[in-house]
Amino acid sequence: DSTTAPNFIRTQIREEVEAGKVEKVVTRFPPEPNGFLHIGHAKSICLNFGLAEQFGGDCHLRFDDTNPAKEEQAYIDAIKDDVQWLGFQWAGDVRYASDYFDQLYAWAQHLVREGKAYVDDLSPDEIREYRGTLTEPGQPSPYRDRSVEENLDLLERMRVGEFAEGEKVLRAKIDMSSPNINLRDPILYRIRHASHHQSGDKWKIYPSYDFTHGQSDAIEGVTHSICTLEFEDHRPLYEWFLENLPVPSVPRQIEFARLNMNYTLTSKRKLKLLVDNGFVDGWDDPRMPTLSGMRRRGYTPASIRKFCEMIGVTRADGGLVDIAMLYHAIRSDLEDNAPRAMCVLRPLKVILTNVPEDFEEVYDVKGHPARDDMPSRRIPLNREIWIDRDDFMEEPPKKFFRLAPGKEVRLRNSYVIRCDDVIKNDTGEIEALHCSVDFDTLGKNPEGRKVKGVIHWVSATHGVPVELRLYDNLFQVEMPDKDRDADFLEHLNPESLVTLKGIAEPGLKETVPESRFQFERVGYFCADRYACRDGALVFNRIVGLKDTWAK
Ligand code: ATP
Ligand code: MG
Ligand code: MG
């Protein structure tokens, strides 16, 4: 498949498996439950679960829940839903880093006993100052040489809540002059008098990300701990813990380049800002790059998985993936799999003057031009129909092959009609067109002339009213958060949502939420997961028809 891009981690693991270096591949997807998952996370999910699937291994879902202040059960539930919606299932139960708090604490005591960790009384600001910079070495804390007994006692008192937040931390004793700042006595525990969504009020101290992640991997028997490039500099620390603690297995950290996409934010913090300030209608607003937003918009799991396959996995950072590629992925899925339908977005009434009042003819039309397994549609023609306003021009330019005064056009699946008269109201607005049908044109070309244009239409007698939500990019510029000092909110696209009242062919009356269609000549649409109900049809535009992705 030309759409499969290189994936260096897959290549590497295949070699290891073939050389017998690894028996069973175990990966994990480790979200922090502080927001909803976005398209960047999809890359990590497809990679981790995909590798486990491919090599007959396991992928764990582990919540990296070491910061209770920002985390919530609602995020945990949404993340589980999103992973399953994408079509993946974690091995065993959902896991939590907080499941390992007892073990981590025992390991912290172990480091203290070995003289490799100490309680520090410096304030967070002082610690930062003492730590030094890239060009200047760090200075040891005056508390660095406390005795093992004193450290054990203070750590225990930190744990039970004897000290205030920020008063003390536990640090590893590694190397204050290391060129890698992550090794300058990193923090292992902070005091936080916060209630935790899993462990309740049991703990008054919480382990840092660095002290938690690798050891959790080791406890779970993870073989390949895959993360984004920001963690490359943390790898020596990841390995230091594994070397200095009696861990049951030794995982390996591998970094890859995160996904960045134009017109899109992939930071939970910034997405949360959009939600909290009402710039969008929740985390699952169809304009959001969250998986729940994309689901609501109408993306299929297959299209997101295909997109993740297309972008590949490399260590080359800095690239910006074109959102046109994502649009290409959903379009090509729906081109093959979405039934067709006719829907008029901006209705203009057409009266077929040479057709009797009670006229009705019903066409049996294929559900999809290339699929015989899809049910056919019944399309009635009556004296009054709707066409799209865009398909008529009173004074058309030369190459306008749609309807105009005195011109002919074919109604899709039906006859050729001619526009004889334009009916206007007092203010000069066009209210309706009077047209006549050429009854000798059903399924055949008219005599002696060519009619190039074909337009979609809906019977005014039987068409069903629909609300159409036309979505576009949420941001107007390719990199809304490029300028760190400026406000990315200034780049919001004021036309990211346009709502229209349209009319759809009668068969759509029974539409089930989340079903997808190609509205012919218009675009791909999905019945809104929540708002679409009997008698109130609401369709979201997923994407237009025209593919702009250049392979
Ligand atoms: P954010 O910055 O949006 O909060 P995060 O990395 O802090 O993202 P986590 O919940 O910790 O969010 O991420 C879970 C996993 O998903 C991590 O392994 C992380 O590396 C990966 N991930 C997050 N964003 C991306 C991205 N844009 N591309 C690829 N992987 C990502
Ligand atoms: Mg993270
Ligand atoms: Mg983050």
ipTM summary value? 0.96
Location of structure tokens 């090509």:
332
Location of structure tokens 């981790």:
48
Averaged confidence pLDDT in the chain: 96
For ligand 1, atom 14, the nearest C-alpha belongs to: 31
Q: Which residues are catalytic?
A: 32, 258, 268
* CA–CA distance, 323 with 330 (Å, rounded to integer): 11
Range of weakest confidence among 170-179, 443-452, 484-493, 525-534:
484-493
Greater pLDDT, 482 or 389: 389
Q: Is the pLDDT of residue 4 over 90?
A: no
From the CA of 32, how far away is ligand 2's center (Å)?
6
Q: Is the pLDDT of residue 367 over 90?
A: yes
- The band of 533, judged by pLDDT with boundaries at 50, 70 and 90, is confident
- With a CB cutoff of 8 Å and minimum separation 6, the contacts of 403 are 387, 391, 392, 393, 409, 417, 419, 433, 435, 453, 455
Question: Which amino acid would we find at residue 480?
Answer: P
Question: From the CA of 231, which ligand is nearest?
Answer: 1
**What's the fold here for domain 8-256?**
Rossmann fold (3.40.50)
Q: From the annotation, which residues make up the binding site?
A: 32-34, 38-44, 64, 209, 228, 258-259
* CA–CA distance, 376 with 365 (Å, rounded to integer): 5
Percentage of residues in the chain having pLDDT higher than 90: 95
Domain ranges of the chain: 8-256, 260-337+464-504+511-551, 346-462
pLDDT per position as a tens digit, 435-452: 999 999 999 999 999 999
From the CA of 30, how far away is ligand 1's center (Å)?
9
Q: Are 403 and 392 in contact (CB under 8 A)?
A: yes
CATH number of 260-337+464-504+511-551: 1.10.1160.10
> Would you say the C-alpha torsion 384, 388, 392, 393 has a positive or negative sign?
positive
Residue 551 pLDDT: 61
- With a CB cutoff of 8 Å and minimum separation 6, the contacts of 493 are 472, 473, 474, 475, 476
Residue 1 pLDDT: 47
State whether CATH 3.40.50.720 applies to domain 346-462. no
Q: From the annotation, which residues make up the binding site for ATP?
A: 32-34, 38-44, 228, 258-259
Ligand 1 touching residue 268 (CB < 6 A): yes
- Token code pair at residue 538: 């609401």
* CA–CA distance, 309 with 121 (Å, rounded to integer): 49
Q: What is the pTM of this model?
A: 0.95
Residue 3 pLDDT: 61
Q: Distances from the Cα of 101 to the Cαs of 28, 160, 170, in angstroms?
A: 18, 14, 15
Residue 309 pLDDT: 96
* CA–CA distance, 142 with 124 (Å, rounded to integer): 14
Question: Which amino acid would we find at residue 384?
Answer: E
Ligand 1 touching residue 44 (CB < 6 A): yes
Q: Which atom of ligand 1 is nearest to the CA of 34?
A: 10
As separate numbers, helices (DSSP H) first and strands (DSSP E) second, the chain gives 12, 25
pLDDT per position as a tens digit, 302-325: 999 999 999 999 998 768 999 999
pLDDT per position as a tens digit, 165-176: 999 999 999 999
Q: Which atom of ligand 1 is nearest to the CA of 269?
A: 4
Q: Are 59 and 88 in contact (CB under 8 A)?
A: yes
Question: From the CA of 40, which ligand is nearest?
Answer: 1
Residue 484 has a CB neighbour count (10 Å cut-off) of: 6
Question: From the CA of 269, which ligand is nearest?
Answer: 1
Residue 485 pLDDT: 65
